[in-house]
Structure 1
Amino acid sequence: MAAAGFSTLNMEYLRRQSESDTSSSESEFNGENAEDLSYSDLETVPDFLLLRSNELRALQLDHNEILCLPDTISSFKNLVTMDISANNMTILSPELVKLHNLKTFIARNNCFDTDSIPKDFGLMSSLEVLNLGGNNFKELPPQVTELEHLRCLYMGGNKIEEVNSSIKSLTNLEVLYLGGNCLTEIPAEVGCLHKLTALVLCDNQIQSLPPTLIHLQQLRSLSLHNNQISTLPTAIVSLNIVELSLRNNPLVDKFVQDLVYNPPTLLELAGRCIKIDGLPYSCEELPRHLVQYLDSAHHCVNIKCKGVYFSSRVEQVKFVDFCGKYRLPLLQYLCSPSCSTVISPSPSLSSDSEPEEEDNTKERMRRVLLG
C-alpha cells in the first residue's frame, strides 16, 4: 500500500522535530558552560564539578556506572540540560526537584519505573523536554502529567500498558512518543492535546483509535505502524496530516472484504418500515421505549439508498485516497448486504487519480464516507 512507504518520511519528520527541540540543548552541551563526562567510567558525580556548580548550564553524564545521583546534584542550580542515560539507575534523586532552571532532562536506557520518580517531580515546572525512553515503566507516572510546561515527552521502549486520562493535563505538549510499549488502546483524552504536531504510537498492540483525534488540528505526523489496527475513525479525514505510517497493521496487510451482518429482528424490520415510509408516531400511540428505539435509527451511507438501520448493519471497510498522498481504510455502515454491491469508489478518488486541492479532496470524502 502507498501508506506503508510513509514510515521513512514519518521518521524524517520526527527527526526534524527532534532537532528543533534539542538544538538549544546541543548548543548547551558544546558551550564553555558545559561539561561532557560521558563514557568516563564514573560511579558518582566527581567533586571537582562542584567548583563549577554555579556556572554549568549543561551536564552530560550518560554511559557511566552512576547508580544514583548524589545529593550534591542540587548545587547545580543553573543547569538547563542534563543527560544521565545508560547508567543502570533504578531511582532518581529527590534533589533533582531543586533544579529550577532545568528545561531538558534525558534519562534513557536505565532501570526506572514509576516508583523511581520523586513524588514531587511534578513541581519541576521549568521542564520542557523529558526523555524516559528505554526504561521499565508500566504506566505513565502521574507526576509526569503534572509538568504543565512540557512540550516533548519521549516514553518509547518501555512496558506501558495504559495511558491514564490525566494525560489531558499536558496541554502544551507538541511531541508525544509512546512507540514500543504494550498499549492496546489510547484514551479519548489525547484529543485534548491541541498543540500536538507529532504522535508516535508504533510498535504497540493498539486495535483502534479514539474519534477525539479530530481535535488535533495541529497534528502533522502520525506513526501507527506495527499495531493491530483494522480501521481508522472517519474523523481522521479532517486532519492536516503530512506523514502517516500504517504498515504492518491488519488494515494494510489484508483487505477486509467479509461482511459482518446479523439478520434484522422483527422489531427492526417493523421499525425500518415505519421510518422509510415516514409513518408518524408519538408517545401517545406507542410506549416510550419504542419511540426512543425509532428515534435511534441511522441512515445508510449509500447515497442511492433511502434505507435505515438500528442494530443490524453491514460493516464494510473502504480504502480511499487521502489528499492524493496515501490510502486510508475507513469503516462505513450499510443497511444491508445489497448496498455493498452498489457502492463503488468515486473515480476521482481512485489510486490513479491526479492530486487535487486538499480541501476539495476532503470534502469529497466527507460526502462519500460520512454521508
Structure 2
Amino acid sequence: MSSTIPDRGATASGRPGLFRPTVSRDGEGRAPRRGSVVPVLPAPLYVLAGVAGFALGLLPWLVTGLRLPLQNLWAVEVLPEQMPRVLLPFSQYALTLILGLVVSGAAAVGLVARLGRGGRPRVALLAGVGWFVAAVFAAGQTGETVSRGLADDPRADLYLTALLATTGVAIVLGMVVLALIALASPAGASIGGAFGALAAGVWLDALVVPFGSIGSDWQTTLLGGARWVPAVLVGAVLAWCGVHGVGRVVAWVVDLLLLWVVPAGLTAVSYATGSRVLLGQPAEAVAAGLQVFAAALTPAGVSWQLVVVALVVGLAGLLLRRLRGSSSRAAH
C-alpha cells in the first residue's frame, strides 16, 4: 500500500493548505529583511536609483540652469548667458557647495540602500556603482569643459587642479558616507548620517537661494530657519542610534563634534575663497580662514548653538523611544 507525503501547507486534519503563505524573495533567493520599506527591484534599477540619487543632490544646481559661473581666468570675455553648461558649479566661490551637493546625494542613496530589500550589501553595491559613475561623469564633463575655456596660464592650471581636487575629495567622502549609512552598525551609520545632515544643510541653503542669485526678504527669512536643519537632523540621528553600548556613546560624541567643527570649517573656507582681495594672496587667505574658523568655534559662534539644539533633540528622541517602549510593554 503506497503512502503519500502530505503537502507542507497541509492542515492538522490532513487536508491540503489552500492558503499557504508565500514569501517574496530577492534575486538571490533570500527573503527580504524585516522592516524594509523599499520593494525588491531588478539590479539595473538599483543602479539607476544611484544615478537618481546623485541627480537629487544636484537639484539646487539644476534649478539655476547649469550655466558655468563667470571665471576670472577665462580666455575670452563673455556674458553670463554665454557660459557653457556644466554638471557641477566649478568656481572658487562654490567649493562648499560642491561638497554639499555631492555628499547629500550620496547620503540619500545610502539611506535608500539601508531601507531597501534585496540584501543590503547588494543594494548598496549596485546603487553605489550608479552614484559613483554619475559623480565621475559629472566631474569629468565639468573639468573638460572648464579646461577648454580657461586661459593658457599657470594660474588657470592651478585653479582647475584645486577644483578637481575638491571634487575628488567630495566623491571619496560621499562614498564613505554612503557605505556607512547603508552597511554600518547603528554607531557607524549615525556618523555617516551626521555627515549627510551637514551636507543637507548646504543643499537646502542652495535650494532656498540658488547659487549666483540675490535672496529676497522671504528667502532670507527661510535661510534663517534652514540653518537649524542640520542640528535637528543630527539630533534625530542620535535618537535613532541610542546609547546602548560604548560604540553608540562614542558615536554621539563624534556626531556632536562634527556638528561643532564642520560648519565652522565651511564658513572659514567660504570666507577665504570668496574674497577677491585674498584671492591672489594665499598666505593671507589661509590666515584669515583660520581666524574665522577659531571665532566660529567660540561660544559666540553659531556652532555651539547647533550642538545644543542637536543634543536637546537627541535626548528628547531617546525619552520618546523609552516612553513608547514602556507603553508597548504595558499593553502586552
Alignment TM class, shorter chain as reference: under 0.3
Find the structure with the greater CA-based Rg.
1
Structure with more helix by fraction:
2
> Structure 2 length as normaliser, TM-score?
0.26
